[in-house]
Amino acid sequence: MNETSLNKRNGYSMVDDLQPILDGKQPVPNATSVVIDAGATILHYREMHCGTALFPDGKKQWSARFFLDYGQGGGLYGSGVVAWVEWKDGAYRAVAMKFAICDHKPVAGPGANPSRGWRPASCEKCGLDMSVDSGD
């Protein structure tokens, strides 16, 4: 997927953007290892998706669990955590990696007032609305 051709103002689509990753048809994009406790990393996610993780080197994890990021408005951010269990050092261990279709770079929007909790923003690369209104 070419980041310059993305227009994800309203969020990523589960069917078009994320399902091919969850099904192991596309490699997990921009994957980075979680170095802290994998269990603690996924505690705040609201739902889990079962799937197959395909990595760029061709390795597959058949029993992977995907935890997806949602924005304040409920739209998918195209990122999350994939976790699985593997045998390591004589025991089964939880392993996790963060991933993202786009390595978002937020750009502040007009009228931003962070001191009042209003942070209109969009991603410079894909256009995703990343606005946050924590209110006061």
pLDDT at 3: 44
Dist CA 28 CA 55 (whole Å) = 5
Note the pLDDT tens digit of each residue in 4-62.
445 676 789 999 999 999 999 999 999 999 988 888 889 889 899 999 999 989 999 99
